[in-house]
Amino acid sequence: MSNTTPKRKKNKVLKIVRKNPIWITIALCIVIALVSDVIIVLLSETIGMYVFNSKIGDEYEAVSYMAKMYDIGTDENGGDIYALLNEDGRSYFITDTHGNILYEHGSNTMGHTNGKFKLPFTSQGETELRVYLDDVTEGVFEPDEDGELSINAASMFKFATKMGEEINLQIGIKKTSLEVPLWIAVDVKGGKQIFYAKVCGKITPSDMIFVGLFGIIGFVLVTCIIILMLINMINTLVYQKRISKVFFTDPITRGHNWMWFSFRGEQLLKKRRNAATSYAVLDLVFVKFRNYCVCHSVIEGEEMLNKVDKVLSANLNKKELAAHYASANFALLLKFKDREELKARIQQIIDQLEKIGVDHKFTFHVGVYVVENITDAKGRAKRRKDIDIEREYNNACTARSTLEECDDSGIAFFDENLVEEQKWIDTVMEHRRGAIENEEYVIYYQPKYDPKHNKLKGVEALIRWNSPELGFKSPGTFIPILEKNGFIQEIDHFMITHVARDQKAWLDAGYECVPASVNVSRAHFIEDDLAAQIRDAVDKEGCPHNLIEIELTESAFFDDKKAMIDTICKLKDYGFMVSMDDFGSGYSSLNSLKDMPLDILKLDAEFFKGDLNGGRGEIVISKAIALAKSLNMLTVAEGVEFKEQVDFLAEKGCDMIQGYFFAKPMPKEEYAEKMNRTIPVVQEIIPEN
Ligand code: C2E
Ligand code: CA
Ligand code: CA
């Protein structure tokens, strides 16, 4: 996993993209649409009022005036007022509240008595009600011999309404302009009577043009606004798509990147799904990708990553994801029904990936974190709101990191213990410098004895971590972590310096010092000047070189053999002894022995666990001792706990025994007591005059 700062930046960008500004655009469009609607309604109202005023405004005033005249003019001489009103020449009639006509005057288009409409001044055969639409006769209603039209009120009203609104209603006469007869009703006599007067609104072609123009302008305006809004929305969508493409595309593989993976992945994982199907988050690593880039070129390396991305994408099913995370890491999200099936599928993908190089068989490590389904009482999968894809991927990475870099391709599943392990790794790494500075690392010494005479012949210095916070820790809990994460050089240097210092102090104090061996990690052996570094550190403490022995673990011999031999030779030239630790625990020990000019062979403790395997173990040990002797090497047997083992080793000529039978590793004060001590000669210092 890379550092967290760019990750945080990525997340911030992702959040902005996720916020989806399209909603802002849509909200803006709605506001604009509402505002334009309001404007159009207000305009229509204004124009409607203008048309009404210009067409029948005056007429309305006149009718109101007539009604007022009638209202105040009626007294016992009511007849006079009718004469006055009739002078106006306008058609009008007055009814009571039941609709009975009390008085009528002029060419009323219709009145009604006993449910029949009566056409005004109609004599039989003379007048007819003609209805025209676009100058074509639509229908004719002829009055009966009494001059009355026996049309039912509802159908007549329908016609009248229709005619008034849409068609040119004339009585016997065709006209080009549209005349709309309107009856204005005014309550008179305190609401006991109604005064109806006829007005006529004329709609001329210029009026039509005016209204038509207004309609067209309104339509164009609304259309423009809608088009502008649509353009804006499309622009926003296109822009967003482009931005998404930039954010979600990996610059190396040109495929999807981590941001896309985390965005889509979280959506998929949070969804409710079939309880029988689970998801797994995978971290797939192209092992030794850097080496490939060094041997070939960065461009070729990137081409390989491209190929990996293509193979991964080709292996995906619906609703599965793959993306380049960073460096040589890829993230995958796969569906599966059972773990074995998932494992087989991953293996299949690895098999394909191993062959992407023409002349190389590549190695891939895969860490798997299974996202467990949470089910309800009925066994159905529930929605998972607690998904954090970054955390799940991290877990997959933790599982993957359990595979050693030198391992072949492999798959590792995450389990909860790994979290604890990871936490401990972090603790060790966090405290490593402070532990050196505060002298929390302490040295224990485990003596090595000559089994024949039970005489102290040597000692191994072993580290312990006495942490005030975490307690007393044995090297197995932190040395492998420091070896893997790159702090072992500092530890080795600390040990050599302190052991040399202790030896020098004991020497000065008159102890009969024996060689003390110090473990030097294989990781340290890649440094060219290791022998010189050791020499300088020991010299700085003033310790004789023959009191320091360097232990190399057998596994270290697999690395650069030539460099190793070179360093061993230098160390020997400087006067240090060099031993091969854990002999017998690896599988190429004999081969290493052939090439390395070593002084001491340390037989691994595994040889002495349990009985000596009914004679076979004894044969192997005795032959190993004999082999060492013939190569002029001393032998040390490690992990010896029983008297029989000591006797056996003494008989076979083993030079030293380091094991609990004689002594466990102990603090330096305790070890000092095991050494013989000659009282040092105290030289009298004669002061100068
Ligand atoms: P090692 O170098 O093989 O050290 C011998 C280990 O065997 C020691 O464990 C010692 O306590 C243990 N041992 C000795 N005799 C017996 C016995 O009779 N029975 C049993 N059961 N165990 C016995 P320790 O001290 O825990 O060290 C473990 C390993 O840690 C060492 O294995 C060595 O690989 C590493 N180590 C310890 N100190 C250092 C150090 O200063 N530098 C480096 N690089 N590695 C160190
Ligand atoms: Ca050792
Ligand atoms: Ca050992």
User: What pLDDT digit, counting tens, does each position of 376-388 carry?
Assistant: 877 787 787 788 9
Q: Is 233 helix (H, G, I), strand (E, B) or coil?
A: helix
What number is the average pLDDT over the span 152-166? 49
CB 223 within 8 Å of CB 231: no
What number is the average pLDDT over the span 267-291? 89
pLDDT in tens, 552-570: 886 666 567 788 888 999 9
Does position 452 have pLDDT exceeding 60, yes or no?
Answer: yes
Residue 491 in contact with ligand 1 by CB distance below 6 A: yes
Task: Of 2-16, 218-232, 373-387, give the range with the top mean pLDDT.
Answer: 218-232
CB 123 within 8 Å of CB 117: no
Fill in the DSSP letter of residue 123. Answer: -
What is the C-alpha separation between 251 and 364, in angstroms, rounded?
22
Give nearest CA residue, ligand 1 atom 25. 462
Residue 476 in contact with ligand 1 by CB distance below 6 A: yes
* 94 CB burial (10 A radius; 0-12, 13-18, 19+): buried
Give nearest CA residue, ligand 1 atom 41. 463
The 3-state DSSP composition of the chain as helix, strand, coil percent (nearest 5) reads 50, 20, 30
Residue 660 in contact with ligand 1 by CB distance below 6 A: yes
**Which segments of 411-528 does DSSP mark as H helices, in order?**
417-437, 475-485, 488-508
Higher pLDDT, 313 or 110: 313
pLDDT at 500: 98
Of the candidates 311, 315, 327, 293, the residue with the CA atom closest to the CA atom of residue 397: 327
pLDDT at 681: 46
Give nearest CA residue, ligand 1 atom 10. 665
| Residue of 459, 464, 481, 519 best suited for mutating to test ligand 1, as the one with most atoms within 8 Å of CB | 519
pLDDT at 374: 81
- The architecture that CATH gives domain 258-414 is 2-Layer Sandwich (3.30)
pLDDT at 117: 41
Higher pLDDT, 646 or 165: 646
Residue 519 in contact with ligand 1 by CB distance below 6 A: yes
Does position 68 have pLDDT exceeding 50, yes or no?
Answer: yes
Band of pLDDT at residue 442, cut at 50, 70 and 90: very high
Of the candidates 180, 381, 386, 159, the residue with the CA atom closest to the CA atom of residue 266: 386
The neighbour count for residue 502, using CB atoms within 10 Å, is 22
Q: Which ligand is nearest to the CA of 448?
A: 1
Question: How many angstroms separate the alpha carbon of residue 460 from the centre of ligand 2?
Answer: 7
Statement: the pTM of the whole predicted model exceeds 0.85: no
What is the C-alpha separation between 139 and 156, in angstroms, rounded?
12
What number is the average pLDDT over the span 602-626? 86
Where do the domains of the chain lie? Answer: 25-216, 258-414, 425-672
Name residue 95's amino acid. Answer: T
What number is the average pLDDT over the span 181-204? 84
Residue 641 in contact with ligand 1 by CB distance below 6 A: yes
What is the C-alpha separation between 179 and 200, in angstroms, rounded?
6
Of the candidates 387, 437, 417, 146, the residue with the CA atom closest to the CA atom of residue 279: 387
pLDDT in tens, 37-54: 788 788 878 877 877 777
pLDDT at 173: 37
Measured between alpha carbons, how far is residue 224 from residues 27, 44, 168, 231 in Å? 18, 18, 35, 10
User: Is 3.20.20.450 the CATH classification of the domain at 425-672?
Assistant: yes
pLDDT at 242: 87
Higher pLDDT, 133 or 261: 261
What is the C-alpha separation between 655 and 192, in angstroms, rounded?
140
Q: What proportion of the chain, given as a percentage, has pLDDT over 90?
A: 47
Residue 168 in contact with ligand 1 by CB distance below 6 A: no
* 471 CB burial (10 A radius; 0-12, 13-18, 19+): exposed
pLDDT at 558: 59
What is the C-alpha separation between 571 and 580, in angstroms, rounded?
14
CB 151 within 8 Å of CB 141: yes
The neighbour count for residue 349, using CB atoms within 10 Å, is 22
Does position 527 have pLDDT exceeding 90, yes or no?
Answer: no
Higher pLDDT, 73 or 647: 647
Give nearest CA residue, ligand 1 atom 12. 639
CB 495 within 8 Å of CB 461: yes
pLDDT at 455: 95
Does position 139 have pLDDT exceeding 80, yes or no?
Answer: no
Band of pLDDT at residue 142, cut at 50, 70 and 90: low
Which tokens in the block code for residue 482?
Answer: 């420091």
pLDDT at 680: 52
What is the C-alpha separation between 455 and 144, in angstroms, rounded?
152
Which of 138-147, 348-357, 447-456, 526-535 shows the lowest mean pLDDT across its residues? 138-147
CB 635 within 8 Å of CB 623: no
Question: How many angstroms separate the alpha carbon of residue 556 from the centre of ligand 2?
Answer: 13
Give nearest CA residue, ligand 1 atom 11. 665
Band of pLDDT at residue 262, cut at 50, 70 and 90: very high
Q: What is the mean pLDDT of the chain?
A: 83
Band of pLDDT at residue 612, cut at 50, 70 and 90: low
What is the C-alpha separation between 410 and 400, in angstroms, rounded?
9
pLDDT at 581: 93
Does position 315 have pLDDT exceeding 70, yes or no?
Answer: yes
pLDDT in tens, 348-373: 999 999 999 877 789 999 999 999 88
Residue 121 in contact with ligand 1 by CB distance below 6 A: no
Does position 6 have pLDDT exceeding 60, yes or no?
Answer: no
Question: How many angstroms separate the alpha carbon of residue 356 from the centre of ligand 3?
Answer: 41
Fill in the DSSP letter of residue 381. Answer: B
Residue 283 in contact with ligand 1 by CB distance below 6 A: no
pLDDT at 123: 39
Task: Of 55-69, 259-273, 565-579, give the range with the top mean pLDDT.
Answer: 565-579
Angle, CA of 351, 353 and 356, to the nearest 5°: 120
Of the candidates 560, 549, 642, 551, the residue with the CA atom closest to the CA atom of residue 603: 551
Task: Of 156-165, 587-596, 634-643, give the range with the top mean pLDDT.
Answer: 634-643
Q: Which ligand is nearest to the CA of 639?
A: 1
Residue 468 in contact with ligand 1 by CB distance below 6 A: no
Beta carbons within 8 Å of 382's beta carbon, 6+ residues apart: 272, 373, 374, 375, 376
Judging by DSSP bridges, how do beta strands 455-467 and 516-520 pair with one another?
parallel
Tell me the chain's radius of gyration from C-alpha atoms: 53
pLDDT at 198: 86
Place of tokens 């911030």: 12
Q: Which atom of ligand 1 is nearest to the CA of 641?
A: 18
pLDDT at 367: 97
Q: How far is CA 615 from the centre of its chain?
A: 61
Does position 599 have pLDDT exceeding 70, yes or no?
Answer: yes
Question: How many angstroms separate the alpha carbon of residue 98 from the centre of ligand 2?
Answer: 124
Measured between alpha carbons, how far is residue 97 from residues 62, 101, 152, 153, 190 in Å? 23, 10, 22, 19, 11
pLDDT at 153: 42
CB 19 within 8 Å of CB 212: no
Fill in the DSSP letter of residue 545. Answer: G
Residue 521 in contact with ligand 1 by CB distance below 6 A: yes
CB 190 within 8 Å of CB 207: no
Strand arrangement of the beta sheet that strand 278-287 belongs to: 321-326, 329-336, 278-287, 363-371, 410-413
Which tokens in the block code for residue 384?
Answer: 């998972």
What is the C-alpha separation between 534 and 516, in angstroms, rounded?
14
Which tokens in the block code for residue 232?
Answer: 């804006």
Higher pLDDT, 590 or 466: 466
Which of 180-194, 276-290, 478-492, 605-619 shows the lowest mean pLDDT across its residues? 605-619
Give nearest CA residue, ligand 1 atom 13. 639
Residue 584 in contact with ligand 1 by CB distance below 6 A: no
Does position 473 have pLDDT exceeding 70, yes or no?
Answer: yes
Question: How many angstroms separate the alpha carbon of residue 637 from the centre of ligand 3?
Answer: 9
Band of pLDDT at residue 137, cut at 50, 70 and 90: very low
Residue 663 in contact with ligand 1 by CB distance below 6 A: no
Does position 672 have pLDDT exceeding 90, yes or no?
Answer: yes
Residue 342 in contact with ligand 1 by CB distance below 6 A: no
CB 179 within 8 Å of CB 200: yes
Task: Of 125-129, 404-408, 587-591, give the range with the top mean pLDDT.
Answer: 404-408
Q: What are the backbone dihedrals phi and psi of residue 445, each rounded to the nearest 5 degrees, phi first? A: -120, 130
Residue 639 in contact with ligand 1 by CB distance below 6 A: yes
pLDDT at 14: 58
pLDDT at 458: 98
Higher pLDDT, 150 or 47: 47
Phi-psi region of 433 (alpha: psi -120 to 50; beta: other; left: phi over 0): alpha
Question: How many angstroms separate the alpha carbon of residue 73 from the centre of ligand 1?
Answer: 130
Which of 225-229, 394-398, 481-485, 577-581 shows the lowest mean pLDDT across its residues? 225-229
Q: Measured in Å, how far apart are the chain's first and last C-alpha atoms?
A: 70
Place of tokens 């009585």: 171
Does position 263 have pLDDT exceeding 80, yes or no?
Answer: yes
Ion ligand 3 — residues with CB < 5 Å = 581-582, 638
What number is the average pLDDT over the span 95-115? 70
Band of pLDDT at residue 36, cut at 50, 70 and 90: confident
Q: Which ligand is nearest to the CA of 449?
A: 1
